[in-house]
Amino acid sequence: MSAPTLTRPGGRVLEKAAEADAPRRGGATRRRTAGTVLIVLAVVAYLVFRTDGAPDSDDAAAFRFFDSVRDWVDANRDTSPFFLYGINYVRLGVRLLVDVVQAGLYGLGFAGLVAAVSAIALVLAGWRTGLLAFLGFLAFGVLGLWDESVDTLVLTLSAVLLSVLIGVPLGVLAARVRWVGATLRPVLDVMQIMPTFAYLAPMTLLFLIGEPAAVIATMIYAVPATIRITALGISEVPPTAVEAATALGSTRWQLLSKVRLPMARTTLALAVNQTIMLALSMVVITALIDAPGLGQNIVNALERVNVGAAFNAGVAIVILAVVLDRITTNAARQTRIHHARRSRLIQTGIAIVVVIAAALVTINPESLPQWSAAAPVNDLVGWIELHWFDATEGIKNRVSEFLLNPLESVLVTTPWWLFVAAVAAFGTLVSGWRAALIAALSAAGIAGLGLWQHSMQTLATVLVAILLTMVIGVSVGVFCARHDRLATAVRPVLDAAQTMPSFVYLLPAVALFGNSRFTAIVAAIIFAVPPVVRLVERGVRDVPPTVVEAALSAGSTPRQLLWKVQLPMARGGLLLAANQGIVMVLAMVVVGGLVGAGALGYDVVAGFSQRELFGEGLAAGLAIVLLGILLDRLTQGFHDSKGPRR
């Protein structure tokens, strides 16, 4: 019914006809009709009111405001009590923490640190993981990236320490005290959809550039996961054990320390694992605000489009991610197994002795045989440029010509009020008026920031990327759900993909497509496809076997089974995947500002590097947040529709 309706204005006739057709499905039909009417209205309004899409001014009121905020902060940093007694102490405290961790790790020396990490892995997670950790940390030396790797580890560990210190108590409170949980939930929601890029600028404003700002930004990025998973673990403790302990006369504190926390320890270990992975991926990005470490190598190399040089650092990051992930995941798994305490104590004792001995040995990591992937990777990239140029260029141009450019020009030439109205209307239809109101306010906020053109360009890129992500993700997900062997083959790839810090995904995209808008899209797709595949596969697999059996016994072909039974019933999973995917895509598209994606991401990066662009950068960061909230709220109604639509 949709094809002819598009050409018909008004749509009232249609409403009646449709109701006569299907009186029993009135609700769904009415929604569909309303959607059609809205689309028609929007198209008509666009055709009537479209603008010529003037470029953003360099001097919007918002920029000047943020510049003046910055000037005020700079002028008062050492006099205002807010800084003198608050922020500056936080900075000093975090600086102290970083210095202590740094002194500890550097104090161990190369041999000592390698031994310490291997020993920790060995004791906590078993000998395989110990071996992996040993080889992985040796590899940092072989790659010639020892100091950078340790710097990244220092920042990650500092941020994780802070996150655990803050997040675990908050998580316990959130699980045990109703109002704390209710207050935290929306805050965490917003924190988790904030693209990493967006809060770097405010951090530099408050904490200057360097390690403290990096650690705090990382902590803010990672702590929602710590809080959430801790709260989950605490609330999952079986009530029977708690009741039994209460009946024996435990105090609240005894219940927490002897029952709840120990029983949630597997989940707590998982919380630490997630915190570490998130922190690592953020620490790499904080290179943009002058944090030391592997991220610096990547940023510098990307600026020179030297994929090979970036590749070395990328490999080191992936190794660090894999080692940290394996240690914590296996440690979490080991918490379920009961060990004899004695053998554990002996193991720990031996490990400590070995580490101390190793710390006394001085080995210069540069004396290891050195190896670098730079030359071969650059050769490969050169080869790809030479031989695949037509293909990659073809894909790039096709997508730009048929998807990106038309969409971008439509969005850019849409007057802002029409966009806000459209967001409100469609939002109400999809996610209810509350979410629509928030989304519309975000849209209006974007308009008010004076970055309309850049925001719409970013939005166009995001929409194209999510479209491609969903097409690829759904196909692969459905395939995996229907072919067990494929699924087993793909699963470790997905696992690995999800442990990698987002920055790393830029590298293959740059290698294939050079510096362009399209590169950001490719990176976003690589970044967002794995979780989408996962959610789609789960959605399709969760279709009850009895229903599938019934459809098969009615004589459905596999294709009919897919289109008429499995996909409609997996609707909840698909929509959830879209919601999750869109937030990830936005985060990555913005990071793509580093590799020529332009628009908001570029504004943010420029804001860090050029003083006169600070205001614009901050405004762009805010615009990104608003865009994130808008996209999330618009698709949020998807969460609720778990089952097939009735």
Closest CB to another protein among residues 178, 338: 338
Q: How far is the CB of 242 from another protein (least distance, A)?
A: 8
Closest CB to another protein among residues 261, 322: 261
∠ CA 42-51-440, nearest 5°, is 50
Tell me how far apart the alpha carbons of residues 563 and 556 are, in angstroms, rounded to a whole number. Answer: 10
Closest CB to another protein among residues 185, 258: 258
Instruction: List CB contacts of 602: < 8 A, sequence separation 6 or more.
Output: 593
Closest CB to another protein among residues 250, 348: 250
Closest CB to another protein among residues 14, 263: 263
Question: What tokens does 399 get?
Answer: 């997508």
Q: Are 512 and 589 in contact (CB under 8 A)?
A: no
Instruction: List CB contacts of 148: < 8 A, sequence separation 6 or more.
Output: 292, 293, 294, 296, 297, 313, 316
Coil, strand or helix at 415: coil
Tell me how far apart the alpha carbons of residues 460 and 72 are, in angstroms, rounded to a whole number. Answer: 36
Q: How far is the CB of 395 from another protein (least distance, A)?
A: 54
Closest CB to another protein among residues 343, 362: 343
Closest CB to another protein among residues 20, 340: 340
Tell me how far apart the alpha carbons of residues 495 and 493 are, in angstroms, rounded to a whole number. Answer: 5
Closest CB to another protein among residues 258, 564: 258
Q: How far is the CB of 249 from another protein (least distance, A)?
A: 3
Closest CB to another protein among residues 265, 541: 265
Q: How far is the CB of 334 from another protein (least distance, A)?
A: 13
Q: How far is the CB of 393 from another protein (least distance, A)?
A: 60
Q: How far is the CB of 232 from another protein (least distance, A)?
A: 18
Closest CB to another protein among residues 47, 248: 248
Work out the end-to-end distance of the chain between its first and last CA atoms, rounded to an integer number of angstroms: 19
Q: How far is the CB of 235 from another protein (least distance, A)?
A: 17
HSE (CB half, 13 Å, CA atoms) of 529?
Answer: 24
Instruction: List CB contacts of 633: < 8 A, sequence separation 6 or more.
Output: 427, 431, 435, 436, 438, 439, 442
Q: How far is the CB of 329 from another protein (least distance, A)?
A: 19
Closest CB to another protein among residues 241, 354: 241
Tell me how far apart the alpha carbons of residues 274 and 160 are, in angstroms, rounded to a whole number. Answer: 10
Q: How far is the CB of 258 from another protein (least distance, A)?
A: 7
Q: How far is the CB of 183 from another protein (least distance, A)?
A: 24
Question: What tokens does 610 get?
Answer: 């050029």
Q: List, as one string, the DSSP characters of 130-161.
A: HHHHHHHHHHHHHTT-HHHHHHHHHHHHHHHH
Backbone region of residue 338 per phi and psi (left: phi > 0; alpha: psi in -120 to 50; beta: other values): beta
Given the rule CB under 8 A, which residues bind another protein? Answer: 238, 240-241, 243-251, 254, 258-259, 262-263, 265, 338
Instruction: List CB contacts of 194: < 8 A, sequence separation 6 or more.
Output: 221, 625, 628
Q: Are 597 and 454 in contact (CB under 8 A)?
A: no
Instruction: List CB contacts of 555: < 8 A, sequence separation 6 or more.
Output: none
Task: Name the nearest CA neighbour of 171 among 116, 236, 123.
Answer: 236
Question: What tokens does 474 get?
Answer: 């759904």
Closest CB to another protein among residues 240, 553: 240
Tell me how far apart the alpha carbons of residues 37 and 258 are, in angstroms, rounded to a whole number. Answer: 61
Instruction: List CB contacts of 74: < 8 A, sequence separation 6 or more.
Output: none
- Residue 548 identity: V
Q: How far is the CB of 57 from another protein (least distance, A)?
A: 58
Q: How far is the CB of 180 from another protein (least distance, A)?
A: 22
Angle between helices 506-513 and 374-387 (to 10 degrees): 40
